[in-house]
Amino acid sequence: MADGKVPSTASEDPPSYEIASQPGAMSSAAPRPSGPRLPLPLALPILNMLRGKRVILASASPRRKQLLGQIGLTNVEIIPSTFEENLSKSLAPFEYVLQTATQKALTVYEREINNTNRGEPALIIAADTVVVSHFGDILEKPRSEKEHITMLTALRDTGVHKVYTAVACMTPLESAKDPGYALETHVEETAVRFDPNITDELILAYVKTREGADKAGGYGAQGIGSILIERIEGTFDNVIGLPIRATLQLIEKVMNAEEEEEEELLL
C-alpha cells in the first residue's frame, strides 16, 4: 500500500499503559460497566482503508465474525454463501477445503457485484473448515447423538487428527480484464490430539451439551470442547474456523493487487 493514500484513523496517541490498564478506560462511547477493557483496533493502512466500505463474510459462523472483529473489522456484512458444499470426498482434504472456500467466495461475488442498492463489495472473505480423522476421512457435522458419540470416541481412540481451514479473499478490479476480480487463497493445517484418558462418561456429558452439534468433527475447541483436547500443534484459531494471521496477510495481498491495477490504469 503506497504511503499517503490511506489516512490513519488514529488521530491521537493511544492511552498510556497506566490509563489503559483501568477497566473501561479506553472506551470513547457512553460509560460501560467495569470489566476487561476493549483494545483499540489495529491501525494498519489496509484495515483503515476498508473501514466504511462493504466487507462481506460469506459465512454465518459467529466465530469467524468474532475473529475478524478482533483485528478491527467490526462492521462485516454477513452474506452466507449458497454453495451446496457437495464436492467429492475423494478429493484430498487440502483440495476439498480450498475448492469449497473458493466457490463460496465466487457465489457471493456473482450475487453482489451488481448490487445497485448497496454497491459492489470492497472485499469478500470466505472460509471452509474440515476435520480429518487419523485415517484420512473428512468428518461432517454429527447427524445424531449416536453418531456424535461415535465420532468423538473415534477421535479419542485414534490419536492425532487434522483440522484444515481454507480462506479465500476476493476483491473486484476496476478494469474489465477477465475475470474481473483478484483472488488470493490459503490453506492452514493444525494437528489436534484428544486426551486418550477422557472417559466415555465425559464424552456423553459433552455430547449432551449440544455445543458440538453444529460443528465439523463434533466439538468446539473455543468452548467446553477444550476439555477433550490434550494438545494442539499449529494455530488455535484455525481450529475455531479462521486462521486470523493468514487471513490478514491475504487481505493485504489481495487489496494491494487492486491498488497495483489502479496505478497501472493511470499510466
180: left (phi over 0), alpha (psi -120 to 50) or beta: left
User: Any catalytic annotation for residue 237?
Assistant: no
Which residue among 128, 137, 200, 237 is the active-site one? 128
Residue 22 lies in a domain: no
Give the per-residue pLDDT at 25: 56
Residue 52 lies in a domain: yes
Give the per-residue pLDDT at 160: 96
Q: What is the pLDDT of residues 55-109, one digit of tens each?
A: 999 999 999 999 999 988 988 999 999 998 889 989 999 999 999 999 999 999 9
Residue 251 lies in a domain: yes
Q: What is the pLDDT of residues 124-155, one digit of tens each?
A: 999 999 999 999 999 988 999 999 999 999 99
Whether 250 and 167 have beta carbons less than 8 Å apart is answered as yes
C-alpha cell at 3: 504511503
Q: What is the CATH number of the domain that holds 117?
A: 3.90.950.10
Residue 6 lies in a domain: no
Residue 176 lies in a domain: yes
Q: What domain count does the chain have?
A: 1
Whether 169 and 125 have beta carbons less than 8 Å apart is answered as yes
Domain residues for 125? 42-266
Give the per-residue pLDDT at 237: 96
